[in-house]
Structure 1
Amino acid sequence: MDYSGVIAGKRTRFADLEDIIGRPNFYDDAKKAGEMLREHRSLDSLMKSWDAFQKTQEELAENRVMAKSQEDKELAEMAAAEIPVLEQRLVDLEKSIQESILPPDPLEGRDIILEIRAGTGGDEASLFAADLLRMYTRFSEGRGWKIEPLDSSPSEVGGFKEVIIKISGEDVYRVMKYESGVHRVQRVPATEAQGRIHTSAATVAVLPEAEEVDFELKPDEVRIEVCRSSGAGGQGVNTTDSAVQVLHIPTGTIVRCQDGRSQIKNKEKALSILRSRLLEKKQQEEAAKYSANRRNLIGSGGREEKIRTYNYPQNRVTDHRIELTLYNLDQFMEGRIDQILQGLLASDLKERLAEAGLG
């Protein structure tokens, strides 16, 4: 596809940003300046990718001509050997260009609040929630991301009724945003004496971490209560009044945080989770309006949507949104989830390009 017309418009915008950034009062509005600097970096990357794309096209054309030469057989062989490398480089550069052309999600650079809750299935569901936490932890560690526990409610069998963590690092929300939804597991529980396969589920919610500028939590709209921690966790948890419960009165949203022994830390964590949940609610309302005019290939990201099945007897994992099945569930549960995540990213990119008339 010819991107030259689109690139010309982006180049004009890039020149305009160069002028604006050089003005003395550029940093007067810090938030707006940050947004413009991110856009400038993105366009700078796009220009470099486009220049490399054009250069590679020229090199590929030259190599194809040289490969047909009858005068210098050795040179022709060398040129022919480089053709597959140049073709792959063109594919990679075109993908980078496509990603840069589309308007970026303003939240994609955010850290996330990851919530996992046991669904149908009782104790087995709580164990599966713990397995998902381990899977995401392994995946995050492999990417060099930082994990911070925020709150948890352990089950009696060693799993979790609910667990909330924060994941920080580069492009966390961009990579993880498709994980929201219902995850279904099919396996024989350890407590099943007759070897029957049970089906259980856990719900995952991926919330971009909200900043204070996203929501102004007015004092008269928030009720904060301090209470005694409960549940498993040792003597320190059971004997301190460090748990904090926050109620957002306008929406009825309640957040309880008790993992830390510090009341102040628990309050900070609870408010962070609250802002993120309110931001998610706002996103879903906007997505509902938008989705009336489009079919989203990878789904709405709603918590009620069944997105993936983990079948242990067949060592199979299936993502229902992109109809991708892998037979490496044992490795998948060790955090090797890249293939499905890349498939989701590619499907979303394809749909967005089609909507923009660039598909």
Structure 2
Amino acid sequence: MGYITEGENEESLARSRLERRKQGVILLEMDKVTPKMITEALRRQFEKRFFDIFSWETGTVRRVAKTSIEKPPDITKNEFHRLVRKGIMNYVPFSTVISALSPHADTVPKRLTESVPADMGIDMDSFDRLRVSEMLLLGQDPARALLAFYCTGLASFEESKHKAIIDHLRTMLRKIKDQNPFQTLGVDESISEGGLKRAYIKLVKQNHPDTYAYADDPEVRRLANDVFTEIQNAYTTVLRLREGKPPEEKKEIDQALQAEILYSQGLEAMKEKDYSKTLDRFRLCVTMMPDERVFMEAYVKALFLRWQNTGKGSSIEIKAAIREGTRKFPSSDTLHVILGWVLKKEGSKKAPDAFRRALQINPQNTDAQRELRLYTIRSGK
């Protein structure tokens, strides 16, 4: 336990076996420990065994009735929840976290509390705006936090009341991806020009996004737009094929253009310090064009500025995004500068190392140069 010598431990164990009494009682009689020491040792022992459960490689996470779970004696509900959150954040294999969250991938978590426990070190600002699948893309810490919130009653996963529509639209999209343009339009390759146009108009009327205007669900709107776009692309492709032209890569061009527009909107919102709008725009850019480094850098920078200027978010969330970014873009000097800013705000002595790493990648990075000059002046080195 750290309070007694090895000899005292052996003596008390021998007496415990001989007298068939608990070792703690005997140590108290020997005047080697106090009741407080015993309580503390038992608490540490309990926590170790408790956290061992979370580290099981073959473990699963599932919801069970509250009445079937009994918390340990002499522990408050808040303390028990704290231990559960700590177990998930620090010990559960990430593969288990993914398995637990995957069934809810398409749902948007619902916040059940306005306050976040201080032991988490992460906020819930984005939890009621992003789908679970998008939360998983933010890195391990946000995903673990989401599962911890869920398991301790701070968040829930509620299926959309428009689930039937969502399932229908997803089925349509999957079907379209396995079809050629003629099959998507439901026509034969020999159909007349007039017949083709009539079939297209019929599909447009049936599948226009306005058809689902009554469904107040962003996922419905997104899927409806995707289906409508696929129908438009199929019609355009058929027309080009009939003209002897190759199919046009219009979707990719449109997506890149749309991402650039969103990026410009994000920059404008950043100037106005509307960080919620900024993050929404940059997050969409990253989702649409994941191989564009500038979008990831802009998103991470926005996370930092929101945290620095409003106090929303956390260093854990930003570091998780930086890890994801540097894994995909190891030559990004900007991400290392942002890491330096985070460490500097935390008061960490490792901040200069991040700025030096940025300069190793790009010796012309003025932000890193300035930060290191300031560090040299302040430290007198």
Structure number with greater Rg is: 2
Q: Which has the higher helix share?
A: 2
Fold conserved (TM > 0.5)?
Answer: no
TM-score tier, shorter chain, comes to under 0.3
Q: Which has the higher strand share?
A: 1
TM-score, length basis structure 2: 0.22
The higher relative CO (CA closer than 8 Å, separation ≥ 6) is in 1
TM-score, length basis structure 1: 0.23
